Amino acid sequence: MSRLENKTALITGGTSGIGLETARQFIAEGARVAVTGTNPKNIAEARSVLGEAALIIEADAGNVAGQAAVAEKIRAAFGTLDILFINAGIAKLQPIEEWDEASFDRSIAINVKGPYFLIQALLPVFSKRASVVLNTSINAHIGMPTSSVYALTKAGLLSLARTLSGELIGRGIRVNAVSPGPIRTPLHDGHAPTPEQNKQVVDAIAAQIPLGRFGDASEIAKAVVFLASDEATFTVGAELIVDGGMATL
């Protein structure tokens, strides 16, 4: 298929998990793709999986000052940008009494602040028919214990999908959101200090999914491909929930 033929795309956090799979599908659909990441092991894996078809940019999603540099690299490589998938994020789950200011600020920086200023920096680079997709979460809708800060950041992104869709549509930029349920990615490997405790957390999450399993990154990537493509040209400020029925509970 070639739903993204001749389109340019940037995926933040595109060197692992949902981002890497989405990059793979974007390329298969004909797009020229750039991905960002910071982990050397993940960057090496992305180079192996994506090959020469992708531009890999080392960038910290939470570094506000660095977002302008990312935008400049996209301008230099592509000229204009047709698709932005804001995917980079962290999911730290712990009780409210265990949070400190530094950890709180880091979650806000990576999940909300950095993405906001990346969109701002890319405004002169976006094409006149651009699509922005924000990776939010079903946690923005449900009251899952220990997810207070994570859910807060994802609810902020979901709000941005609505407000920026109204603000940017006059420039030809569509903004939408995809809200995954729990997806089997490395993001879920760091919820707890030990592997045993982490398994308990993961098992407890899986028990809340009506389908009885975590989702696969490819299932989210397919939704992002749709929102990024011209098949979704009349879709503005929408949220596509892909959660195995979790929000129905």
For residue 61, give the 3-state DSSP assignment: coil
Buried b (16+ CB within 10 A) or exposed e, 187-200: bbeebbeeeeebee
Classified by CATH at the fold level, domain 8-243 comes out as Rossmann fold (3.40.50)
Q: pLDDT-derived band of residue 184, with 50, 70 and 90 as boundaries?
A: confident
- Which residues, other chains included, contact 241 with Cβ-Cβ below 8 Å and sequence gap of 6+? 138, 141, 179, 181, 247
pLDDT mean over 24-37: 98
pLDDT of residue 208: 85
As a whole number of angstroms, the distance between CA 152 and CA 64 comes to 19
Percent of the chain with pLDDT over 90: 84
- State the angle between helix axes of 101-108 and 148-168 in degrees (0 to 180), rounded to the nearest 10: 30
Determine the pLDDT at residue 188: 61
The CA-atom distances, in angstroms, between 237 and each of 32, 132, 159, 167, 212 are 25, 10, 9, 10, 30
Q: How confident is the model at residue 206 (pLDDT cuts 50, 70, 90)?
A: confident
DSSP element (H, E) containing 37: strand 32-37
pLDDT tens-digit readout, 1-12: 699 999 999 999
CA dist 186 and 188 (Å) reads 5
> What's the mean pLDDT when you consider all of the chain?
94
Lowest mean pLDDT among 60-64, 118-122, 206-210: 206-210
The band of 190, judged by pLDDT with boundaries at 50, 70 and 90, is low
Q: What is the 3-state secondary structure (H, E, C) of 203-247?
A: HHHHCCCCCCCCECHHHHHHHHHHHHCHHHCCCCCCEEEECCCHH
**Is the model's pLDDT at 175 over the cut of 80?**
yes
**pLDDT at residue 192 is higher than 80:** no
pLDDT at residue 205 above 90? no
| Rounded mean pLDDT, 208-216 | 90
pLDDT tens-digit profile of 221-240?
999 999 999 999 999 999 99
pLDDT band at residue 189 under the 50/70/90 scheme: low
Catalytic residue set: 150
Containing 59, the helix (H) or strand (E) segment is: none
The pLDDT of residue 200 is above 90 = no
| Residue-wise pLDDT tens digits, 106-133 | 999 999 999 999 999 999 999 999 999 9
pLDDT attached to residue 110: 98
Residues 6+ apart with CB under 8 A from 67: 59, 114, 117, 118, 120, 121
Across the range 139-161, mean pLDDT stands at 95
- For the segment 172-185, the average pLDDT, to the nearest whole number, is 94
**How far from chain centre, in Å, is Cα 74?**
18
- Give the whole-number percent of the chain exceeding pLDDT 70: 96
Which residue reads 């995926």 in tokens?
Answer: 11
